[in-house]
Structure 1
């Protein structure tokens, strides 16, 4: 290991310690009474996780916290979303019993891991040197300061799982560890459906690695579908087989995503469409003074730095920015299909990738500015020569 790496690893550890400490102070009910409630959509997912244990695995952990008050919640297993995030909650509910602390701990872990992967992703692209490590640390800091990720990693919703497995798949893909990247993509899909759209940028970068169509189809589509299916087996059994699961969960999920009903259309202060996220319009209120804010500066920096990837024609940078744009465009498609009840906290699905891209692209720009000036100079000289030759004729 290079000597200077240890300095940056220590800095990363310090960031993680501070982040985790602040997380506990904010989201652990022991330290913050405001957190001793169901926060936002926690009324659905932890209860569904508990019911999966109870009705599918026939395990009934001790309940230290009552069910939420939603209609039919005692039998609800959340069939309109994939199950993986709820399985992670179940692990800690089994260990600690049903309580806010138990169902939030896996989200806290995902939040910390996202910071680590963001560090590794930026360093991978810029290089394993002092500059690359510095880019990695700045990425870790930007992710740690991201307000959407901060809230979503602190509570028990599904988006933080998409956020983690998505950026993990991206990092592994850029590292050309195709099998692991493909598995991670499947895990992202098994967490929540916005990850389905990531097949497209995955296919693009895989095309940069291999021209073999069968390999590209296998790892961008086949393996992720297999992983998704394996994660869904318990839900399939609950619906009495594949056909029951298709109608009762998978197809129902697709229909649910493309229609209104996630919240009343009259609740305009809660609804935030994809273009609203750039201005932090109507950040979703989770209750108890928790808002899913989006940082407009980060969103606009992402918009303005995206051309850098195409200016340098760097397939890695193109993949990183398009990884996030693909998910954002997925939400635009959902809106076009008829779902006009979207929320600001969906940015957590791809927010860490945006943070990593902004830092990495700016470092890349500075690092390659001399080469760019040289290319532009050579192009100018070539044009002048052509112009001179044409004049002499």
Structure 2
């Protein structure tokens, strides 16, 4: 290996190490603040994913989470609870209680001694109508959360969190280890994409560094949300498509869709590149239609198959019909409609808002008014999108690096725009992390290939296009 190659690998490893450290740092920062403020440990939509992961672990797999520091039960009851009597029994066994639930008819009991906690629970059942007990870290405060499985989203992220709970521990810092790993791998694949596009070590390292420093990527890689997995498998699919390994590229998309359906938006650029490769200069509308139609039929069947395989544990728990209605047809309907209206709803956004930094979703509030929002380096995002559109004629002039990066950026973005058009108006800015590796790949390509001659060429192309459009409009209006 050459000296420059060794330096490149060393710098890449440094970027990956720094990325992992900063993701873990923010993971710990969120955890410390929740514990210091006597919170329940959850950040943003973690309340849904972590709680459902715990329910899946306990109710579907019949396993208990590994306790960290103490043993705890979230106890749900029916009717009226004699709180003073419960506190009296708890004091006998050295069990501590938390009654800070307002939406959930329950409380949290915990102790350093498992036997004492179980004895307390046995005595409690004698004086209260206990309907459910969820072991592990305290559940969030939401009605019916003890039975919630988050079926509007596929289960793979919940399986990951449940596995961590069972093996490492049910503790806020640990819940996010999966996304920390996914975020680090996302940085790696962003490097690989830029390296493959430009065959330039400095450009690839710059692309990976920009992505790692992006606050949206950092925040989503430090919380137990789903979207960094979507970004990772989108990037993997992009990389495989660059090598014309289209079957594996589609497989990466299908695996990503087991975390969240919007990974499927990556099928748009894959289908275009696949059709381009198949046609190879023998273009005909009939052939194009047949290729694209066959691609989407095969991908659709693959989607259903992978969803059913991943859903086998839930199918066993719910039954196939109930699972299919909730996890497939119900989930699709849920994604294509407005989910929340009113002042109590979190801030939603349109896809184009993500490139201007407006209507950003607030992930967390720290004491003193400091908020953590789901927003990237929007000036760079805006520049990348505008430049991709302006330099679009380069796609027609044979600039392969630009063609690939622009196809992926605009192709995936078009999926969100289409979803918005058909009714899915409740979109949140953290969805945009899927676009992050595409934004920085496009930005790197644009800057690395920028030169005066290309600017002149693009301007002349746009001038020619507008001239033809003007003439066509004139003929249409019978002015010529």
Q: Among residues 421, 424, 435, which one is paired with 1:336 in the alignment?
A: 421
- Counterparts of residues 15-164 of structure 1 (less than 5 Å): 15-28=15-28, 33-34=32-33, 36=35, 37-64=41-68, 65-127=137-199, 132-164=200-232
More helix by share: 1
* 8 A contact 1:271–1:284 mirrored in 2: yes
* 8 A contact 1:203–1:220 mirrored in 2: no
- After superposition, the Cα gap between the structure-2 partners of 1:304 and 1:276, relative to the gap in structure 1 and judged at 3 Å, is closer
Q: What is the CA–CA distance in structure 2 between the aligned matches of 1:323 and 1:331, rounded to whole Å?
A: 13
* Higher RCO (CA-CA < 8 Å; seq separation 6+): 1
Q: TM-score, normalised by structure 2?
A: 0.70
The alpha-carbon deviation at position 295 of structure 1 amounts to 2.2
* Partner in structure 1 of residue 387 of structure 2: 305
- After superposition, the Cα gap between the structure-2 partners of 1:351 and 1:371, relative to the gap in structure 1 and judged at 3 Å, is closer
- After superposition, the Cα gap between the structure-2 partners of 1:15 and 1:218, relative to the gap in structure 1 and judged at 3 Å, is same
Alignment: residue pair count: 368
- After superposition, the Cα gap between the structure-2 partners of 1:302 and 1:232, relative to the gap in structure 1 and judged at 3 Å, is farther
* Partner in structure 2 of residue 4 of structure 1: 4
Q: What is the CA–CA distance in structure 2 between the aligned matches of 1:159 and 1:355, rounded to whole Å?
A: 17
Q: Among residues 237, 249, 254, which one is paired with 2:327 in the alignment?
A: 249
Q: TM-score, normalised by structure 1?
A: 0.85
Q: What is the CA–CA distance in structure 1 between the aligned matches of 2:458 and 2:12, rounded to whole Å?
A: 37
Deviations 1:15-67 (A, max 9, x none): 122222222222125x9612542000010001111111222222122355211
Q: Among residues 284, 288, 294, which one is paired with 2:361 in the alignment?
A: 284
Deviations 1:121-170 (A, max 9, x none): 0010112xxxx111110001110111111111110000011010111111
Q: What is the CA–CA distance in structure 2 between the aligned matches of 1:206 and 1:114, rounded to whole Å?
A: 23
- After superposition, the Cα gap between the structure-2 partners of 1:287 and 1:374, relative to the gap in structure 1 and judged at 3 Å, is closer
Structure 2 unaligned segments of length 5 or more: list them: 36-40, 69-136, 280-286, 366-370, 461-480
- Counterparts of residues 217-228 of structure 1 (less than 5 Å): 220-228=299-307
* Partner in structure 1 of residue 253 of structure 2: 185
- After superposition, the Cα gap between the structure-2 partners of 1:39 and 1:374, relative to the gap in structure 1 and judged at 3 Å, is closer
- After superposition, the Cα gap between the structure-2 partners of 1:246 and 1:310, relative to the gap in structure 1 and judged at 3 Å, is farther
* Partner in structure 2 of residue 239 of structure 1: 318
1:323 aligns with 2:415: no
The alpha-carbon deviation at position 174 of structure 1 amounts to 0.7
- After superposition, the Cα gap between the structure-2 partners of 1:253 and 1:210, relative to the gap in structure 1 and judged at 3 Å, is same
The alpha-carbon deviation at position 373 of structure 1 amounts to 7.6
* 8 A contact 2:393–2:458 mirrored in 1: no
The alpha-carbon deviation at position 2 of structure 1 amounts to 4.3
Deviations 1:185-240 (A, max 9, x none): 11111111112222221111112333494984577555454333322322333331
What SS class does the counterpart of residue 373 from structure 2 fall into?
strand
- After superposition, the Cα gap between the structure-2 partners of 1:253 and 1:23, relative to the gap in structure 1 and judged at 3 Å, is same
* Partner in structure 1 of residue 338 of structure 2: 260
* Partner in structure 2 of residue 385 of structure 1: none
* Partner in structure 1 of residue 274 of structure 2: 206
The alpha-carbon deviation at position 179 of structure 1 amounts to 3.1
* Partner in structure 1 of residue 430 of structure 2: 345
Q: Among residues 408, 433, 448, which one is paired with 1:363 in the alignment?
A: 448
* 8 A contact 1:185–1:224 mirrored in 2: no
